[in-house]
Amino acid sequence: MVLYANNCHDSTVAKACEARDAAALRIKVLEAEASAQRSAAGLARKTAMDIAASQLEAEGLADGVILTTDADSVVHPTWLANSWRAFAQGADCVAGYVDAAPGEFVGLGRDFQRRGFLEEYYHAVVAEMFALLDPRPHDPWPNHQVSSGASLGITLQMYRAIGGLPPRAAGEDAALTLAVESAGGRVRHAMDVCVSTSCRLDGRAAGGAADAMKLRHAVIDTFCDDELESAFTVTRKAWLKGHLRKASDIGFMQKSAILRGLDLSAGEMTSLLGTLRHTCFEVFWQELCRTNAALRYCNPLRPSMLPAEIARGEKLLRFLRAQPDPLEAVDFVMEDGVAFEARLHSLYE
């Protein structure tokens, strides 16, 4: 185990060494005073993971794995065992599920708790919608859609294949899973690989999770995460992504009425097909969403809007779960929101 204390000015190192010596644990405790440019969490994580990779190689453990978490997180008792199970089932990278530390979460008050429960519930609705309409055999439902450094694992072989953790000050976790997929690897978003993370409202990283939580605690109805869009928008995106992935060869894309319906210019189409040809579908999809205004994140929800969207999402999920081929059963999501609402009402009349 490697514990990398990045610009820590508390008793982290002393307590870690004390625990290591008392239990005779194999823990390499490293302390660093990095410059302002090198002290970001993403770069510190890269240093620690690079050291872990070199240590595995030095010990001849070519089939080893690297697991990373954060100082403000506590891994669940089954974290290691369930990570190993996911790797044994073929995963090259395991993105775990991150939950709020219960005691701290309760202490933030009922309004904040209600907001958190609504967001978490709708996150699950969105994830299942994508799982049904854009299924991926190596990442079956139940799963989630988050890649967080608080719980990430990767095989040593894949870590070296992608050149290590992308050197980013922030967002290195999502960049890692995208790099794995670009290299043809399989990412499992495992619900049973869990950590509990602090709900602290003051953190060292400007613009990080603590700042976001502090704003949401102060302004309860401020905007939710970007990916929590209306049920219509989520369904439309999941349907489009599923269809494109299902037949994602270049020839199909060039003739696809679905892509033509997005009003892409000839130059945009050429660029997107070049992306698909030289990388992977996930990179192509992200580029498509950036290119097309209708697919960009632009209409964030507020918590007060979530109950209605949850009701719409649940109605559609009940319909989709009963279908032998959910993707083919949904033929109305390219229409506008009014038509979508009318079809929802007709499903269970």
Which CATH number do you get for residue 143?
A: 3.90.550.10
Average pLDDT over residues 136-163: 97
Nearest to 25 by CA among 15, 33, 35: 15
pLDDT of residue 1: 81
Output the pLDDT for position 331. 72
**Tens-digit pLDDT profile for residues 29-44:** 888 876 666 668 888 8
Q: Which has more pLDDT, 153 or 239? A: 153
Beta bridge partners of 68: 152
Q: At what angle do helices 209-218 and 110-133 cross, to 10 degrees?
A: 120
**Complete DSSP assignment for 213-238:** HHHHHHSTTS---TT---HHHHHHHH
Confidence of residue 114 (pLDDT cuts 50, 70, 90): very high
In DSSP terms, which residues pair with 152 in a beta bridge? 68, 95
Structure tokens at 203: 């953190």
Q: Could you tell me if residue 213 is inside a domain?
A: yes
Phi (first) and psi of residue 99, to 5 degrees = -115, 160
On the question of pLDDT at 265 being above 90, the answer is: no
Range of the domain at 320: 231-347
Span 168-192, pLDDT tens digits: 988 999 999 999 999 999 999 999 9
**CA–centroid distance for 140 within its chain:** 15
How would you classify the pairing of strands 28-32 and 65-68? unpaired
Residue 247 and residue 325 share a domain: yes
Whether residue 149 contacts residue 197, with contact meaning beta carbons closer than 8 Å, is answered with no
Q: Of 149, 184, 218, which closes a domain?
A: 218
Comparing CA positions, the residue from 244, 304, 246, 252 lying closest to residue 119 is 304
Are 237 and 132 contacting, i.e. CB atoms less than 8 angstroms apart?
A: no
Helix or strand (DSSP H, E) at 78: none
Nearby residues of 208 by Cβ (< 8 Å), 6 or more positions away: 41, 170
| Model-wide pTM > 0.75 | yes
In the predicted model, is pLDDT for residue 205 greater than 80?
no
On whether both 265 and 207 belong to a single domain, the answer is: no
Among 190, 218, 246, the domain boundary falls at: 218
Indicate if 212 and 256 belong to the same structural domain. Answer: no
Contact predicate 196/275, CB 8 Å: no
Name the region of 171 (left: φ>0; alpha: ψ -120 to 50; beta: rest): left
User: What per-residue confidence (pLDDT) applies to 163?
Assistant: 97
Helix (H) or strand (E) holding 32: strand 28-32
Determine the Cα–Cα distance for residues 15 and 32; give it in Å rounded to an integer: 16
pLDDT at 54 over 80: yes
Angstrom CA distances, 276 to 48, 104, 251, stand at: 33, 44, 11
Q: For 88-102, 263-277, 305-319, which range has the lowest pLDDT when averaged over its residues?
A: 263-277
Q: Is residue 85 domain-shared with residue 171, that is, in the same domain? A: yes
* Structure confidence by residue, pLDDT tens digits, 312-327: 999 999 999 999 999 8
What local confidence, expressed as pLDDT, does residue 206 receive? 65
**How far is the C-alpha of 166 from the C-alpha of 128, rounded, in Å?**
29
Same domain, 71 and 210: yes
On whether both 237 and 208 belong to a single domain, the answer is no
> Within a domain: residue 102?
yes
User: Would you place residue 144 in the very low, low, confident or very high pLDDT band (cuts 50, 70, 90)?
Assistant: very high
Identify each DSSP E strand in 83-129 by its residue range.
93-100
Number of domains in the chain: 2
CB 69 within 8 A of CB 49: no
Q: What is the mean pLDDT of residues 197-217?
A: 84
Q: What confidence tens digit (pLDDT) does each residue in 60-92 have?
A: 999 999 999 998 999 999 999 999 999 999 999
Is 211 found in the same domain as 242? no
140-146 mean pLDDT: 96
Question: Which carries the bigger pLDDT value, residue 8 or residue 260?
Answer: 8
Q: Is 13 domain-assigned? A: no
pLDDT range class, residue 301, cuts 50, 70, 90:
very high
Rounded to the nearest integer, the mean pLDDT of the chain is: 90
> At which of 218, 241, 260 does a domain end?
218
